[in-house]
Amino acid sequence: MKQLENQIAVVTGAGRGIGRAIALKFASEGADVICVSRTAENSEKVAAEVRALGRKAWALAADVSDAAAVSTAAEKILADCGKVDILVNNAGVTRDGLLMRMSEADWDAVLNTNLRGAFLFTKALTRAFVKQRSGRIISVASIIGLVGNGGQANYAASKAGLIGFTKSIAKELGSRNITVNALAPGFIETDMTAALSAELKTDLLKKIPLNSLGQPEDIANAALFLASPGARYITGQVLTVDGGMVM
């Protein structure tokens, strides 16, 4: 039997990169997946890939920072699916820049998507989790939320906030058999890291004991573990997947 047989998972930021990898990994292990992305094109593209694996999929276009949009999306999800077993808060953006030149708009954009988005989706589905007395909530943070990084004050703050959010909600929901954990990826080969110069990538590799950048599938495998029966007694934790970069 597959690890997520007949479970229903919601994955935000599912249109590409880590979110897409998680959606497909969950589907390969028996889950039906609601693919949430900012654009209908991206969400439908991944939903089609999920269906190709023999699972049901729903495509939803929503801005995770928009409370009304998230509420509408959650209502539709529960109406169409009847339940949700797993929520993966993965939607994220970057707007890098030194603090003294960072605009309020760039600060707000990152905090609103990365942290407020996780809050809104978690809140919108929590009542359903509590009612069924089960659920897995997994948020994709970052090692930057653990150690900080010059030029990424907004991103670091959003990911550190996500870790604190995870630990707090884990304490609130533990008595209802709901686990809440976070992943802290290191440098993963996605669209976000594709823009890095070759020189910067070389410098990064010197700091990674495993001497390679991670792949989206590495994060998907970790998410699968946290969603699986094998992680039933793990909550409030941050699983770092970074090739040993942060110890």
According to DSSP, the β-strands at 86-89 and 57-61 are unpaired
Task: Tell me the per-residue pLDDT of 216-237, one tens digit each, with 9 for 90 and over.
Answer: 999 999 999 999 999 999 999 9
Q: Residue 156's Cα: distance from chain center in Å?
A: 15
Candidate list 26, 107, 121, 155, residue with the active-site label: 155
b (16+ CB within 10 A) / e for 145-164: bbeeeeebbbbbbbbbbbbe
Task: Tell me the per-residue pLDDT of 55-96, one tens digit each, with 9 for 90 and over.
Answer: 999 999 999 999 999 999 999 999 999 999 999 999 999 999
Amino acid at position 207, single letter: K
Are 41 and 35 spatial neighbours (Cβ–Cβ below 8 Å)? Answer: no
What value does the mean pLDDT of the chain take?
Answer: 96
In terms of Cα–Cα distance, which of 130, 119, 145 is closest to 242? 145
Token pair listed for 20: 């897409």
pTM of the model: 0.96
- Per-residue pLDDT at 168 exceeds 90: yes
Amino acid at position 100, single letter: M
Amino acid at position 188, single letter: I
CA distance 226 to 98: 35
- Say what the pLDDT of residue 132 is: 97
Expressed in percent and rounded to 5, the helix, strand and coil fractions of the chain are 50, 15, 30
Task: Tell me the per-residue pLDDT of 152-166, one tens digit each, with 9 for 90 and over.
Answer: 999 999 999 999 999
Helix/strand number for the chain, H first, E second: 10, 7
CA distance 165 to 111: 13
- State the architecture of 8-238 in CATH terms: 3-Layer(aba) Sandwich (3.40)
SS3 215: coil
Is 155 one of the catalytic residues? yes
Confidence of residue 194 (pLDDT cuts 50, 70, 90): confident
Token pair listed for 59: 């495509």
Token pair listed for 209: 């004991």
